[in-house]
Amino acid sequence: MNNKLPELPYAYDSLEPYYDAETVRIHHDIHHKGYVDGLNNAQTKLKEAREAGDFALIKHWERELAFHGSGHILHTIFWENMKPQGGGEPTGEVATLINENFGSFEAFKKQFTSAAAAVEASGWCALVWNREFNKLEVVQVEKHQNLSLWSSIPVLIVDVWEHAYYLKYQNKRLDFVNNWWNLINWEDVNNKLSKARS
């Protein structure tokens, strides 16, 4: 299959001091690449199963597809959601909807940070546009694909697997999440939200 590891939109050290260059390099070049490779392998195995009419391992390969495919998609959004000299308060459509759906940016930030810190084991926290509810929601994601809220499109993602922050922050996940707010690319979040709502 032909899924490829996307290039980072910035240099490894561009997110310093909040996100260290070595973690960014390992996270992108090794961890994210592993999900791309796993996705390509799962898609290949499912194609082979269809061609042979042999679905004895369908449960395994469907799980691999969900795990690695979701890992690839979420990592891609994660990298795009950050930029050097990012952060601050949102503007535009996302700012308006955060105020409408959460009461204020401060209330949203507290809910999101608390949810991210409380993800059990490995996973993510995401701000999603739910097309069914026609509103923004904060969701926790275990692994890459569990606890999904159907009809939701992620627009802002933070990775809280330990590999995302352990070199600099050790087991201090909350410190990582608090610093991550200084990197958010709100322009990218607005672009993703606009596409999700169209």
User: Tokens for 96?
Assistant: 């308006």
Is residue 86 in some structural domain? no
Same-domain check for residues 188 and 131: yes
Which pTM does this prediction carry?
0.95
Same-domain check for residues 105 and 150: yes
**32 annotated as belonging to a binding site for a ligand:** no
Is residue 1 in some structural domain? no
Same-domain check for residues 108 and 153: yes
The DSSP string of 6-68 is PPPSS-GGGGTTTS-HHHHHHIIIIIIHHHHHHHHHHHHHHHHHHHHT--TTHHHHHHHHHHH
Same-domain check for residues 109 and 62: no
CA distance readout (Å), 164 to 16, 19, 24, 29, 79: 14, 9, 8, 12, 11
User: How confident is the model over 13-37, as a mean pLDDT?
Assistant: 98
Is residue 57 in some structural domain? yes
104: DSSP letter: S
pLDDT digits (tens, 9 = 90+) for 90-144: 999 999 999 999 999 999 999 999 999 999 989 999 999 999 999 999 999 998 8
**27 annotated as belonging to a binding site for a ligand:** yes
Same-domain check for residues 148 and 184: yes
Is residue 87 in some structural domain? no
**31 annotated as belonging to a binding site for a ligand:** no
Residue 148 confidence (pLDDT) above 90: no
Residues spanned by the domain of 143: 92-197
pLDDT of residue 1: 66
Is residue 160 in some structural domain? yes
User: Tokens for 131?
Assistant: 């097309």
**163 annotated as belonging to a binding site for a ligand:** yes
Same-domain check for residues 50 and 140: no
Name beta bridge partners: 125: 140, 158
CATH number at residue 72: 1.10.287.990
CATH number at residue 182: 3.55.40.20
| Unique residue bearing structure tokens 């608390």 | 114
Same-domain check for residues 39 and 134: no
CA distance 197 to 132: 11
